[in-house]
Chain A
Amino acid sequence: MLLIRCPYCEAERPEVEFTYAGEAHIARPADPSALSDDEWRDFLFIRTNPRGRHFERWRHMHGCGRFFNAVRDTVTDKFAMTYKAGEPRPSDEEIALAGSATSVGEARP
């Protein structure tokens, strides 16, 4: 069972409690009516779909109910870190630091 750390519950929780919610840090255009059809299409549908590190949204659906962001490797499925919604995209250093500090054995519900 994959454990995901919820930044609001501050605990490692089983994957079944979570739902995936697409790519993170996609800001809604400030003035949607000013956009061309192509720009609106890009906002709605075009995603980076990377092979490797991905910034994505998750929701602790069957827990605290909150949306948050995660850094996950799409190849290995490893979660490097999770952080609260609204926080800026973490830097490479922050991700590396979080990855080295991860200790799944200390999971507390």
Chain B
Amino acid sequence: MLLANHPLPGKTIPGDTASRLSIRAAEDTARFSLRIDPAAVQAAGTAFGTPLPTRIGGMTATGGRSALQLGPDEWMLTAPVAESDGIADAFAALQEPHSLVDVGHREVGILVEGEAAALALRSAIAFDVEAMAVGSGCRTLFDKAQIVLVREDENRFRIVVWRSFADHVWGLLQAVSREIALGI
């Protein structure tokens, strides 16, 4: 990760006991955008070391690696930073036509946790966040910024956003966490 222009290094919105909400910049991870024919999804899963989901919004994870299907032929792969080169090499050996792009530097992660997490996200997301299944994810809009939203747990969400939009998203989260803390 290019830290020089990282908009949110080590930032947190701690909230307080009243707000039931904590927001922080997520740990750095390796991220790839994979495009491949869905018919070859099994071979791709073998290369990645984790079977890929076969349904849009579906997610799989094993041993620190996770895969989220974003579109009919599109997956977002994440892994610990140190495994980045190994993943690129594994896909280079894959015989199926595909495109694997390292987008680890393009995006930053934000973790939104706590009982009020869904409430905070609802302030800027137009679909029913509460109804989202745990262990699923999707691309959507946060206010006017495109994000990938993942529900990691009942009360823990991860926002993955382009770094140039991160300040905007962060500012809105800061404002809404203040409102929640004040019970407005």
Contact = CB atoms under 8 A, between A and B. Distances in A.
Contact of B131 (A17, A63, A107): A107
Name the interface size band of chain B: 10 to 19
A66 to B, nearest CB: 6
B70 interface: yes
Contacts of A13: 127, 140
B57 A9 contact: yes
B127 A14 contact: yes
A77 B127 CA distance: 19
Q: Most chain-B CB neighbours within 10 Å: which of A14, A62, A66?
A: A62
Interface residues of A, number: 19
A63 B128 CA distance: 15
A35 interface: no
Interface string B128-160: 110111001011110000100000000000000
Nearest to A15: B126
A82 to B, nearest CB: 14
A3 B72 CA distance: 20
| Chain A at the B interface: SS class | loop
B56 A8 contact: yes
A16 B141 contact: yes
A22 interface: no
A8 B72 contact: yes
B71 interface: yes
A66 B131 contact: no
A63 B139 contact: yes
A87 interface: no
A21 interface: no
Given A62-B146, A108-B131, A109-B129, A11 B140 contact: no
Contacts of A107: 127-128, 131
Contact of B74 (A12, A62, A64, A109): A64
B130 to A, nearest CB: 9
Interface of A: 1, 8-17, 62-66, 107-109
Interface of B: 56-57, 70-72, 74, 126-129, 131-133, 136, 138-141, 146
